Amino acid sequence: MTAPAIELKGISKAFGPVQANKDISIRVMPGTIHGIIGENGAGKSTLMSILYGFYKADAGEVFIAGQKTEIPDSQAAIAAGIGMVFQHFKLVENFTVLENVVLGAEDGPRLGPSLRKARKQLTELAAEYELSIDPDAVIQDIGVGMQQRVEILKALYRQADILILDEPTGVLTPAEADQLFRILQRLKDEGKTIILITHKLREIMEATDTVSVMRRGEMTATVKTADTSPEELAELMVGRKVLLQVDKTPAKPGAPILEVDRLNVTDAAGVHRVKDVSLTVRAGEVLGIAGVAGNGQSELLEVLGGYQSATGTIRMNGQPLDLTGRASDGQSRRARGIAHVPEDRQREGLIMDFHAWENVAFGYHHDGAYQANRWLMNNAAIKADTEAKMGRFDVRPPNPALNAKNFSGGNQQKIVLAREIERNPDLLLVGQPTRGVDIGAIEFIHQQIIALRDQGKAILLVSVELDEIMSLSDRIAVMFDGSIMGERLPQDTDERELGLLMAGMNGKAA
Amino acid sequence: MTFFDLLQLLDSAFRLATPLLLACLAGLFSERAGIFDIGLEGKMLASAFLSAAVAAITGSVWIGLLAGIGASVLMSLIHGLASITFRGNQIISGVAINFLAAGLTVVISQSWFGQGGRTPQLSGAGRFEPIPWPGALPSRELADAGPAMQLYSELLSGHTIWVYLAVPIVFASWWVLFRTRLGLRLRAVGENPAAVDTAGISVVGLRYTAVIICGVLCGIAGAYLATALQAGFVKDMTAGRGFIALAALIFAKWRPWAALNACLLFGFLQAFALRPDLIEKLLTVKVQVQLLDALPYILTVVILAGLVGKADPPKAGGQPYVKEN
């Protein structure tokens, strides 16, 4: 029997009082793709960071190809044949591909010979693994799919036999993700060992041979992928049964609430971000906007939310909205019945160093119920209101005095949702509602959005998660490069077609 | 303005640009590695004082230079300790270094020499002497010489060693930054330290290397002021040159050869300010000397206010590196 490519025995790691990894043991066989799945904060990334020498484990041992190996730093991990592709790429943006590959793996003090050697090897690697790339392209000029390819090439250039990929598909289009999985398959066929960390069940099912499930710092199970199902994995991740599909009745669309006509946005840098976008959202329906991040969806939300100027017309309940003047700020938008759950809750939705109750008051701080008299706010009333909202939205812990940053991602999102939804808006703008949110909370947030729809409210949903768009939307619009590529009904389309639209290909099947 | 006037102007511009250039390259290394350094001024001042003091005591300008570099590197290490090891605010640390140098130099100087914060006049081996080229005529005999002789004797001959070394130092800086492993890593750590860290290289080690190089170059710049340009240390003798060097660095967009041009421009303005008689001949009106003196500083303000195109500083500049994933 061959030795495992990697074996971890009894790994534990604590950050202060938080036990990120608890007595974890795992065996990864050579030449396989091993998935590690778990919710945010389950300890997957910590475990891999220990393996890559980023953190030092409090206890436990690492064996590489049967040999006990100490990994005090990344240099040691690289020497042991481990390569890591981080979720956020570790590339120098104004360097070329070649320079990034060479960085840290130079042959001598002079750069010239190293660069020449790397250029030659890149060509060989490209041929061997079908990873062709222009070595002189500058990183900031190439797409994220290519940037990820550079990260993989970096690892291969350092002769990695074991490749760890941390949430590799988060920034990719479905087509790019498929291509990544073909590359991984190819690497596996060449005898490399691959560890794939993800929270997406579908990827685990498609790409891996074996899967380990982590929950709250512990390894709860390791099973053959062929012997399990998404439902079983979800239950292992969360610790209870989870509804993967949103239960909803067909929409009963009413009158148009939001009408956008030929909207154009040019940002401060002069880039034309939104191009002639027209759309309508009716009462009682969810319009989902799909697209890879950075294709104009954010700017669309910013215009509607009142913090980006634009040209074109937007009507709310039939009356035009001010797009550039005095009444184009967030306060005016709220007054017109628009509530906004922004895409980046930590930057736009909350002030992380402020208390939960202060965050709940933001944007609605002129509310009469929050005022003690003409000059002073009634903090006690805000706190009481916050506590009530926390109860209704199952925010844990339900303590209004905690700072926003002390809540988990899911609970932060519930605070923002509670603040916006409970104002009974006519239109809810919601961006990336479940980004960085664990499965249990996703279920709750989705139910809240559908419940609001069923009260006859209009909802504009922007998400890069295609699954989320498919399960929540009553209609789907796809944005690419600032334009709407097309509109589809969820029952009439599939991920493949949407994926093509997201990549800018308007190949509508007749 | 005659050809000879122009030569004199350029001659003085070269001498005045040299300390700016050395300080500018010092800042270039530090900032390219992600450590903002507004303490160039203080480091130059510390080096100017200690080099002049040690040169006065030992009678050797080279020992003085070493002492000056030592003082500047020490200041650099304080800045490194604050901003790399303790991840403090780099601007505040730089300001502190400027204050520290401004105060300490005068206090120590007074205590050692009792000359009101000055160091004794340097002469002979205590200074970097001009190096005359063979056959060069002294300035006073040049007025009637031919243009070639004027060019040779006035502009090319008779500078101190550092003026001649300035261009080789620019070349060396460019070569190190763009043709060596160290340079690649230094530039990378100023753009994305996480990329360097995950490649298995020490971010802290690289950044300390950068601030030490910065200290050495600043030390030479300061020593040049007190032992080549002048003959001793006087209070606040850097007169904002550290900040002018920073402006030149931004103007040059953090590139060595462009830094040479930017510093020459500033040096030329400073040289102009020293020759109000030429301005008067040129413009046929009398210009206030104070206005001329202010020229380099006005240009500094214009550049720092971002009026000369968009500056694109190293992305990780000013931010302490904290490991995360």
What percentage of residues in chain B have a pLDDT greater than 90?
69
Tell me the nearest-neighbour CA distance from A293 into chain B, angstroms: 21
Say which CATH class A256-350+425-502 falls into. alpha beta
CB contact under 8 A, A166 and B325: yes
Average pLDDT, chain A: 90
pLDDT of residue A509: 42
CA dist B236 and A269 (Å) reads 42
CB contact under 8 A, B184 and A106: yes
| Residues making up chain B, counted from first to last | 325
The amino acid sitting at A288 is G
The model's pLDDT over B258-275, given as tens digits with 9 standing for 90+, comes to: 999 999 999 999 998 888
Q: What are phi and psi of A400, to 5 degrees?
A: -65, -20
Residues 6+ apart with CB under 8 A from B114: none
CA dist B58 and B67 (Å) reads 11
CB contact under 8 A, A92 and B199: no
End-to-end CA distance of chain B: 64
pLDDT of residue B325: 47
pLDDT of residue B309: 66
**Three-class secondary structure of residue A431 per DSSP:** strand
Residue A138, CA distances (Å) to A99, A154, A303, A479, B170 in order: 9, 15, 32, 26, 26
pLDDT of residue A384: 95
pLDDT of residue A78: 93
CA dist A34 and A223 (Å) reads 10
Q: Which helix (H) or strand (E) holds A84?
A: strand A82-85
Least confident of A90-104, A140-154, B57-71, B303-317: B303-317
pLDDT of residue A510: 34
* Fold: same for A6-238 and A256-350+425-502: yes
Average pLDDT, chain B: 91
CB contact under 8 A, A103 and B323: no
The model's pLDDT over B86-115, given as tens digits with 9 standing for 90+, comes to: 999 999 999 999 999 999 999 999 999 999
Domains in chain A: boundaries: 6-238, 256-350+425-502
Positions of chain A with pLDDT lower than 70, given as ranges: 1, 243-244, 507-510
In chain A, whose CA is at the least distance from the CA of B188?
A92
The model's pLDDT over B177-230, given as tens digits with 9 standing for 90+, comes to: 999 999 999 999 999 999 999 998 999 999 999 999 999 999 999 999 999 999
CA dist A271 and B142 (Å) reads 60
CA dist B80 and B215 (Å) reads 10
Q: Residue B139: pLDDT band by 50, 70, 90 thresholds?
A: confident
Q: Is B307's pLDDT higher than 70?
A: no
Nearest to A93 among B179, B181, B192 (CB): B192
User: Which residues of chain B are within 8 Å of residue A52 when distances are taken between CB atoms?
Assistant: 198
Pairing of strands A458-462, A286-290: parallel
Residues 6+ apart with CB under 8 A from B46: B68, B71, B72, B74, B75, B101, B104, B105, B222
Q: Retrieve residue A26's tokens.
A: 């795992």
Q: Is B297's pLDDT higher than 80?
A: yes
User: What is the signed CA dihedral for A505, A144, A184, A442, rounded to 10 degrees?
Assistant: -80
Tell me the nearest-neighbour CA distance from B186 into chain A, angstroms: 10
Nearest to A99 among B179, B184, B325 (CB): B184
pLDDT of residue A476: 95
Residues 6+ apart with CB under 8 A from B239: none
- Give the residue, B1 or B176, on which the prediction is more confident: B176
Tell me the nearest-neighbour CA distance from B182 into chain A, angstroms: 7
CB contact under 8 A, B188 and A86: no
Tell me the nearest-neighbour CA distance from B172 into chain A, angstroms: 13
Residues 6+ apart with CB under 8 A from A155: A83, A84, A85, A163
CB contact under 8 A, A111 and B195: no
User: Which residues of chain A are within 8 Å of residue B313 when distances are taken between CB atoms?
Assistant: none
Tell me the nearest-neighbour CA distance from B30 into chain A, angstroms: 18
* Domain A6-238 belongs in CATH node 3.40.50.300: yes
Cis peptide before A397 (omega within 30 of 0): yes
pLDDT of residue A97: 95
pLDDT of residue A507: 54
How many Cα atoms occupy the beta-carbon half-sphere of A112 within 13 Å?
3
Contact status of A105 with chain B (Cβ, < 8 Å): yes
In chain A, whose CA is at the least distance from the CA of B176?
A110
Which among A46, A50, A86 has a CA at the least distance from the CA of A69?
A50
CB contact under 8 A, A49 and B325: yes
CA dist A441 and A411 (Å) reads 8
In chain B, whose CA is at the least distance from the CA of A74?
B200
pLDDT of residue A248: 85
How many Cα atoms occupy the beta-carbon half-sphere of A33 within 13 Å?
25
Least confident of A231-245, B224-238, B242-256: A231-245
Give the strands of the sheet with A218-224, arranged side by side. Answer: A82-85, A162-166, A193-198, A33-38, A210-215, A218-224
CA dist B286 and A225 (Å) reads 88
Kindly provide the ipTM of the predicted complex, given to two decimals.
Answer: 0.89
Q: Which helix (H) or strand (E) holds A62?
A: strand A59-64
pLDDT of residue A258: 95
Q: Domains, chain B, ranges and CATH?
A: 3-126+153-304 (1.10.3470)
Residues 6+ apart with CB under 8 A from A450: A246, A247, A248, A286, A472
CB contact under 8 A, B191 and A92: yes
CA dist B47 and A312 (Å) reads 62
Write the DSSP symbol of residue B228.
I
User: Which residues of chain A are within 8 Å of residue B187 when distances are taken between CB atoms?
Assistant: 92, 95
Nearest to A103 among B179, B188, B315 (CB): B188
Please answer whether residues A160 and A168 qualify as being in contact, where contact means their C-beta atoms are separated by less than 8 angstroms: no
Taking any CB pair shorter than 8 Å as contact, residues of chain B touching chain A are 178-185, 187-188, 191-192, 194-201, 315, 323, 325
Nearest to A111 among B179, B197, B198 (CB): B179
In chain B, whose CA is at the least distance from the CA of A76?
B200
CA dist A354 and A371 (Å) reads 19
| Residues making up chain A, counted from first to last | 510
- Give the residue, B319 or B19, on which the prediction is more confident: B19
pLDDT of residue A160: 93
Q: Which helix (H) or strand (E) holds A60?
A: strand A59-64
Annotate B230-264 with b (16+ C-beta within 10 A) or e (fewer). Answer: bbbbbeebbbebbbbbbbbbbbbebbbebbbebbb
**Three-class secondary structure of residue A83 per DSSP:** strand
pLDDT of residue A504: 83
Q: Is B324's pLDDT higher than 70?
A: no
